[in-house]
Amino acid sequence: MSSKCFYALFSYLTETRQDSSVANFGIYNRKVVTAILSMQDSVRYFPTMAQWVGYNKYYLPVRHSERLEGASSYSMRRLLKLAFDNIIAFSDKPLRLVVKFGFILSFLSLCIASYFLVRYMLGDINVIGFASLIVSIWFLSGMIVMLIGIVGIYIGKVFDNTKKRPVFIIKEELNICQSND
């Protein structure tokens, strides 16, 4: 169950298709393995790296048997660490979600400010300064969260460059010689 939850969340946050029934099981062409080995990421998660290199893939149905002995070596804590490390290594979507959250928070504070302004004009607010204080706190909190997310995205771009992933992966070399005859 935890594995299925991990793959669902991981697929959403990395915007890749992750199949919990496949995991690391597969037969790979040497070109795919060489391309994956050329990636110098410190966090290495083979299924996502295999997708990142972009070669064609095919699935064959395989019947999985139940585990007869022992238990999975992945505890919930290890699964969460694996998920966190890989989401950070392969996606900036959490940072983009933080930016959206900050924007929504600021927008909602402006809506609430409009509501309090109308109530103030109608004479329904008895405590002076309450509305402006609450609205300003929520608005500034939203702006701070949004700006932290934007800074995080910039840091994420720097992080992507430190991985030293190849810019291009050559699928096939053609040795075509043209003569100038």
* Domain ranges, ordered by start, for the chain: 2-89, 93-162
Q: Give the pLDDT mean for 89-117.
A: 88
For residue 144, the model assigns a pLDDT of: 92
Q: Is the pLDDT of residue 153 over 60?
A: yes
Q: Check residues 181 and 22 and name the one with the higher pLDDT.
A: 22
Quick: pLDDT tens for 38-79. Answer: 887 777 777 778 777 878 887 777 777 777 888 777 777 887
Distance of CA 84 to the CA centre of its chain: 9
Question: Hey, what's the torsion of the CAs at 91, 95, 19, 76, to 10 degrees?
Answer: 110
Enclosing H/E stretch for 150: helix 130-162
The pLDDT assigned to 101 comes to 92
For 131-151, what is the mean pLDDT?
Answer: 88
Give the pair of three-digit tokens for residue 140.
């500034």
DSSP letter string, 66-120: PP-SS--S--HHHHHHHHHHHHHHH--HHHHHHHHHHHHHHHHHHHHHHHHHHHH
